């Protein structure tokens, strides 16, 4: 295990330091973010706003400019890769990397799959030419029909036509992974719903065995709200050791809670999820400990907005004398959220990246609606964001008053 180096940060770490967290925002930007989270802190406003935005877009009312300057600007980098450049540069100033996330949800058609593939290849090339973009990312359902992934998971025989479609999509996957490997760009494969995840896992581990011989290029995503996921992680580590390849891991808590519960209820099977958040938190932290224990074999990224989990990893790294900038360990948060975590971790020398969604405004609206709904449904998260923004507004106001009095 790598020992402490001279690059180990001596800066004290606090997620309460709003001066560092919001240093990149001028007063206007700060107050705009304050207004957005104040709105998202009210469930009824989120529901009402979502309804009217959908209605106005359907009726072709000229609301895109308003959306682009508010919620889109808060959570998205731009409409194109080039349009994200200012966001990439702004994050880089704070020593925070960018993960370009093409967030357009296309149709399940050959034309859509090809378009998505080409866009992912562009993000990989962009990452290869810019060290401020440490990872690329995509969803398998961007290039595969979900119904084929689901049928393959049931082990039912695919028809000849279905097998041909599956193989064609797999060729797209190989093309993406081939380029990532050739350009030495690390590639996250996002997790999805449990009824297609086993197929995604099988495809991902096949890519790992091929492309992760020298270092971790392909990363799988582990959703720790599933009660079987800690065991799955242990099996994945054992398989990587047995077959002698590097395991790429992104650890998240989980993104499909309501869909998982609804499908389990409708199809009358037991939910694959933990019964309470405490169990998810426990398994998440145990998963991080497991990855850290095998850090020479397992390259991992903590995708989380949970302050406690981040601090636990920082404490564990310090206890084991692992440098804060160890190349196999990353933290990641979504653009527009948890800046108190991202910016303070980066200021203390840890490897940090922001997921930066992009795409045409109308095409990424489903993503933005989910962001608003998820923030309003996560207990305490929006209130925490709002309180931190309010704290920084007050700090700046008090600093201005002190300066004015002294003058």
Q: What is the pLDDT along the chain (407 residues), one digit of tens a residue?
A: 443 433 333 347 899 999 999 999 999 999 999 988 887 766 644 454 555 455 555 555 566 777 788 888 999 999 999 999 999 999 999 999 999 999 887 678 899 999 999 999 999 999 999 999 999 999 999 999 999 999 999 988 999 999 999 999 999 999 999 999 999 999 999 999 999 999 999 999 999 999 999 999 999 999 999 999 999 999 999 999 999 999 999 999 998 888 899 999 999 999 999 999 999 999 999 999 999 999 999 999 999 999 999 999 999 999 999 999 999 999 999 999 999 999 999 999 999 999 999 999 888 877 777 655 554 445 456 688 889 999 999 999 988 777 766 66
Query: Is the Cβ–Cβ distance between 292 and 245 less than 8 Å?
Result: no
What's residue 246's pLDDT? 98
From CA 188, how far away is CA 344, in angstroms rounded?
A: 24
From CA 205, how far away is CA 340, in angstroms rounded?
A: 34
What's residue 35's pLDDT? 86
From CA 149, how far away is CA 199, in angstroms rounded?
A: 6
Give 77-358's CATH code, choosing from 3.40.30.10, 3.20.20.220, 3.30.300.30, 3.90.870.10.
3.20.20.220
Half-sphere exposure of 264 (CA within 13 A, CB side): 14
From CA 228, how far away is CA 343, in angstroms rounded?
A: 33
From CA 369, how far away is CA 405, in angstroms rounded?
A: 44
Question: Per-residue b/e over 317-345, b at no fewer than 16 CB within 10 Å?
Answer: beeeebbbebebbbbbbbbbbbbbbbbbb
From CA 28, how far away is CA 332, in angstroms rounded?
A: 26
Q: Where in the chain is the domain with CATH 3.20.20.220?
A: 77-358
What's residue 16's pLDDT? 94
Best CA proximity match to 314, nearest among 335, 333, 336, 289: 289
DSSP label of 137: E
Q: Residue 99 in 3-state DSSP?
A: strand
Tokens, residue 360:
């045409």
What's residue 374's pLDDT? 55
Query: Is the Cβ–Cβ distance between 336 and 34 less than 8 Å?
Result: no
């Amino acid at each position: 295990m790598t020992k402490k180096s001279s690059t180990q940060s001596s800066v004290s770490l606090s997620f309460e330091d709003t001066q560092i967290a919001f240093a990149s925002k001028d007063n206007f930007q700060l107050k705009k973010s304050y207004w957005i989270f104040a709105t998202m802190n009210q469930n009824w406003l989120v529901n009402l706003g979502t309804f009217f935005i959908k209605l106005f877009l359907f009726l072709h009312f000229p609301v895109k400019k308003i959306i682009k300057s508010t919620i889109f600007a808060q959570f998205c980098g731009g409409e194109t890769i080039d349009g994200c450049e200012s966001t990439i540069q702004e994050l880089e100033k704070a020593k925070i990397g960018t993960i370009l996330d093409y967030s357009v949800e296309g149709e399940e058609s050959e034309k859509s799959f090809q378009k998505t593939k080409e866009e992912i290849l562009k993000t990989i090339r962009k990452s290869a030419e810019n060290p401020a973009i440490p990872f690329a990312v995509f969803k398998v359902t961007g290039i595969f029909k979900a119904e084929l992934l689901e049928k393959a998971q049931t082990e039912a025989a695919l028809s000849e036509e279905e097998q041909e479609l599956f193989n064609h999509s797999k060729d797209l996957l190989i093309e993406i992974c081939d380029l990532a490997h050739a350009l030495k760009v690390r590639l996250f494969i996002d997790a999805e719903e449990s009824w297609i995840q086993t197929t995604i896992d099988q495809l991902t581990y096949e890519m790992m065995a091929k492309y992760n011989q020298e270092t971790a290029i392909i990363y799988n995503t582990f959703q720790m709200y599933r009660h079987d996921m800690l065991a799955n992680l242990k099996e994945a580590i054992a398989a990587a050791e047995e077959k002698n390849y590097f395991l790429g891991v992104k650890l998240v808590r989980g993104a499909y809670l309501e869909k998982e519960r609804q499908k389990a209820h409708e199809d009358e099977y037991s939910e694959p999820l933990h019964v309470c958040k405490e169990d998810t938190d426990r398994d998440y932290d145990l998963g991080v400990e497991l990855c850290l224990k095998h850090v020479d074999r397992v390259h991992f990224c903590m995708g989380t907005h949970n302050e406690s989990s981040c601090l636990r990893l920082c404490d564990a790294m310090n206890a084991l004398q692992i440098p804060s900038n160890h190349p196999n360990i990353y933290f990641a948060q979504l653009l527009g959220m948890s800046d108190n975590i991202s910016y303070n971790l980066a200021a203390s020398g840890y490897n940090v990246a922001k997921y930066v969604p992009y795409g045409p405004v109308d095409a990424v609206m489903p993503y933005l609606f989910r962001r608003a709904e998820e923030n309003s449904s996560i207990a305490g998260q929006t209130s925490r964001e709002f309180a931190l923004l309010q704290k920084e507004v007050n700090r700046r106001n008090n600093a201005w008053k002190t300066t004015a009095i002294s003058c």
